[in-house]
Amino acid sequence: MNLNQARPPRRVVDGVLLLDKPVGLSSNAALQRAKRLLEARKAGHTGTLDPLASGLLPLCFGEATKFAQVLLDAPKRYTATIRFGRTTTTGDAEGATVEEHPVLFDRGDLEAGLAALVGPGMQVPPAYSALKRDGRAYYEYARAGIAIERRPREIEIHALRLLEWAPPDAVVDVECGKGTYVRVLAEDLGRALGAGAHLVALRRTATGGFGLSGAITLAALEDLVVEARLAVLLPVDSPLDQMPRVDLCAAAATGLACGQRPASGVPAGRYRAYGPEQRFLGTVEADGQCLRAVRMASFANGVQP
């Protein structure tokens, strides 16, 4: 049998799938499986989860990929299990042991250590990460035994709550800004408490305004027929729900799509724009007098799903 003939035809699919990614699968592998199940032509994910991690992974299909950056930049929330007394090469349970230490602190010390990490700060990305330098991922250098400079990046920890303390393990609710590596957070906490630490489990529970309650597993998605799978998708504009909205008349909507800058009295800022019949147009920038298109949606055959 010709394998190319056996593959189902790809279709235009527009929308957002809230996937509950399982442990043991990379974000890209999960994306490719979902893309295949939906028979979609174009898709992308909105923030990498390591194979060790599970939880919410919003996937954008078709026109929704134009607005994926909103979710990439959105705050995230995790439930992290941190094990103290041992550091590893990777900062998580997959790495080899580097050092072992006794765990001598108590719950009060742990809560104080968590509180000290809340707020803006700088974080050095892990050596084993997908960040790139000179076209190669950090983990490629690490696996080759090549040390490279890893520049600190600005992050912000919005909240750290201790959910459970059963030495040597702590379960922590983490709310953080974009670009935060929770395994580095675990290492920093272990270092501050003088015991060392590494991450043993991580589950993402929220991204922006999305939570796990609306997510579906790959197994559940696979059990559905294709049309039912498509019905699970959220609208293309769903990542923008927390962005203020502006509604335009037909003339202004047409002008915006043609590169014009229609007049508008809305305050300066970025908006999600809609035309007649609640038709989503895209994102626009207002300067207090007129609107400028930032990212416009264009649907197959001019029909919005």
Whether residue 305 has a cis bond before it, omega within 30° of 0? no
Q: Could you tell me what percentage of the chain is helix, strand and coil, using 3-state DSSP and rounding each to the nearest 5?
A: 30, 35, 35
Identify which has the larger pLDDT, 302 or 150.
150
pLDDT tens per residue, range 5-42: 556 678 889 999 999 999 999 999 999 999 999 999 99
The chain-wide mean pLDDT, for the chain, equals 91
CA-to-CA separations, 2 to 5, 37, 40, 256, in angstroms, rounded: 5, 20, 21, 47
Based on the residue annotation, tell me whether 50 is a catalytic residue of this protein: yes
The pLDDT of residue 144 is: 82
| Total Cβ atoms within 10 A of residue 145 | 6
Give me the catalytic one of 50, 92, 188, 237: 50
Q: Give the least confident one: 44-53, 61-70, 263-272, 291-300.
A: 291-300
| Beta-bridge partner residues of 169 | 83, 166
Q: Please say whether the beta carbons of 198 and 173 come within 8 A.
A: no
pLDDT at 110 exceeding the cut of 80 = yes
Within 13 Å, how many C-alpha atoms sit on residue 3's CB side? Answer: 0
Q: What angle do CA 172, 174, 180 make, to 5 degrees?
A: 130
Run of H or E including 114: helix 107-117
Beta-carbon neighbour count of residue 258 at 10 Å? 8
pTM of the entire structure? 0.89
Q: Which residue would you say has higher pLDDT here, 2 or 301?
A: 2
Query: For 134-171, what is each residue's pLDDT tens digit?
Result: 888 777 888 888 888 888 899 999 999 999 999 999 99
Distances, alpha carbon 173 to alpha carbons 40, 66, 110, in Å: 35, 31, 13
Residue 302 pLDDT level (bands cut at 50, 70, 90): very low
DSSP run (H or E) holding 199: strand 197-207
Query: What is the tens place of the pLDDT at every residue in 217-263?
Result: 999 999 999 899 999 999 999 999 999 999 999 999 998 888 899 99
Which residue type is seen at 46? T
